[in-house]
Amino acid sequence: MALDGKIAVVTGAALGIGKAITETLLQNGAKVALLDLNETAGKSLMETINKLYGQGRALFLNCNVESEEQIKAALQKTAETFGGVDILCNNAGILNERTWEKTVSINLVGVIRVTYLALEHMSKLTGGRGGVIVNTASMAGIGPLFSCPVYTATKHGVVGFTRAMAGASTTSGYGVRFNALCPSFVQTNLLSTLTSELGQFANLAESTQQLIDKMGILNVSDVAESVLELVTDETKNGEALLVFPKGKNYMTFPSL
């Protein structure tokens, strides 16, 4: 799938991995709607984008993925401004084991919520052009991160949802591919500002740090390049792409 002129929506686009995904999609010719609840960071990124790419390639929309109303409005504005939606990157996420219901609401329910509303614009069954959806899960969507059981559960949920939606799309004819991105630890605020977020599992911070030291830390641009692969390679549907500092590979699941 060539990206020239394609229209992408990225959630959690203002910082970290979402910002890098946005920059990579822009560099490859797409127009991007940046959805985030951090208005200060989102507007500042827009200023940079406008200087680099000129006006009209990107649009910042203040949107909390917990709000159905804000998501609907943001998708409608994107479709009106750019002329549809071809690519969705469900990337917004948090890690907080204390406010764990919020973690579920953003990381898992948020992905489902944005996906269903975006499909109204993207699915060939409802007048869309088809396209591709990439969900940022995590390697914790494949194996357990002991210090973060609820975060782990949400990411396993995202991988399962992605694979089931890929099958539903193929069988029903949405014309939309679905893939999950599963990075190991990435150098962003989510990783560096963890303090009291582990709650009752804070005693496991040290063993997690040992895991981080052993696995190493990815930079956001490597992760964004993997998103580009999942977006552009039209053979990929229902895949979970594992991304490590030393390389990447597609997860093999048992066939049931």
Ligand X SMILES: NC(=O)C1=CN([C@@H]2O[C@H](COP(=O)(O)OP(=O)(O)OC[C@H]3O[C@@H](n4cnc5c(N)ncnc54)[C@H](O)[C@@H]3O)[C@@H](O)[C@H]2O)C=CC1
Ligand Y SMILES: CCCCC/C=C\C=C\C(=O)C/C=C\C/C=C\CCCC(=O)O
CA dihedral sign of residues 230, 232, 235, 238: positive
Residue of 89, 183, 227, 239 that binds ligand X (CB under 6 A): 183
Is-contact 31 5, C-beta < 8 A?
Answer: yes
Residue 7 interacts with ligand X (CB under 6 A): yes or no: no
* Closest approach of ligand X to the CB of residue 240, in Å: 12
Q: Which is nearer to ligand Y, 27 or 209 (CB)?
A: 209
Name the token pair of 31: 């127009």
Q: Catalytic pick from 53, 151, 174, 250?
A: 151
Q: Which is nearer to ligand Y, 208 or 232 (CB)?
A: 208
Residue 189 interacts with ligand X (CB under 6 A): yes or no: yes
Active site residue 116: no
How many CA atoms are closer than 13 Å to the CA of 130, on its beta-carbon side?
A: 14
Residues 6+ apart with CB under 8 A from 123: 130, 169, 174, 175, 176
Residue of 12, 128, 131, 157 that binds ligand X (CB under 6 A): 12
* Closest approach of ligand Y to the CB of residue 166, in Å: 21
Sequence length of the chain is 256
The span from the CA of 153 to the CA of 103, in Å, is 10
Contact of residue 194 among ligand Y, ligand X, none (CB under 5-8 Å per partner type) = ligand Y
Contact of residue 143 among ligand Y, ligand X, none (CB under 5-8 Å per partner type) = ligand Y
Interaction residues for ligand X, span 190-219 (CB under 6 A): 190-191
The span from the CA of 242 to the CA of 137, in Å, is 10
Q: Which is nearer to ligand Y, 209 or 221 (CB)?
A: 209
Q: What angle do CA 11, 13, 14 make, to 5 degrees?
A: 140
Is-contact 117 215, C-beta < 8 A?
Answer: no
Contact of residue 66 among ligand Y, ligand X, none (CB under 5-8 Å per partner type) = ligand X
Interaction residues for ligand X, span 132-161 (CB under 6 A): 136, 138
- Which residue shows structure tokens 């975060």? 151
Q: What are phi and psi of 201, to 5 degrees?
A: -105, 15
Q: Using CB under 6 A as the criterion, which residues of the chain lie in contact with ligand Y when the complex forms?
A: 95, 138-140, 143, 145, 147-148, 184-185, 190-191, 194, 205, 208-209
Task: Indicate which residues carry an active-site annotation.
Answer: 151
Q: Summarize as ranges the residues that interact with ligand X (CB under 6 A).
A: 11-12, 14-18, 36-38, 41, 64-66, 91-94, 106, 136, 138, 183, 185-186, 188-191
